[in-house]
Amino acid sequence: MNIEVAQSAALFVFATAGCNVLPGALRCDDRMTKRPRVVASNQVTWDIYQARHTRAKWIGDVEAASAEEAISLAAKEFKQDPKRLIALRRGLPPL
């Protein structure tokens, strides 16, 4: 197979895939970019567990829109280190 034919076939494949083919460089629109997560603004109940070497210990529950927010609220409410807390949405099986 001729090199020029192979290059033109490759250019055709990339051009039909929605990529811009420039001499010397291929630039495609990044279809795998991270989209912003849509988080519901309504409050959900989260069970808060303290991570330990043994089974996690339930220390309480809080209402928050996301797990990160639940952990920060629980750290203030229960006076715990936020690095040691786990938030599970109410209704999911315990650890």
pLDDT of amino acid 37 = 62
Residue with token string 């988080």: 39
Full set of structural domains in the chain with CATH: 1-31 (no CATH), 44-89 (3.10.20)
Q: Which of 49, 53, 52, 54 is nearest to 90 (CA)?
A: 49
Per-residue pLDDT of the chain in tens (95 residues, 90 and over written 9)? 555 655 555 555 555 555 555 555 545 555 566 666 665 567 889 999 999 888 989 999 999 988 999 999 999 999 999 999 999 998 755 55
pLDDT of amino acid 25 = 52
pLDDT of amino acid 35 = 65
- State the Rg of the chain over Cα: 25
For 1, 39, 55, the CA distances from 85, given in Å and listed in that order, are: 61, 21, 13
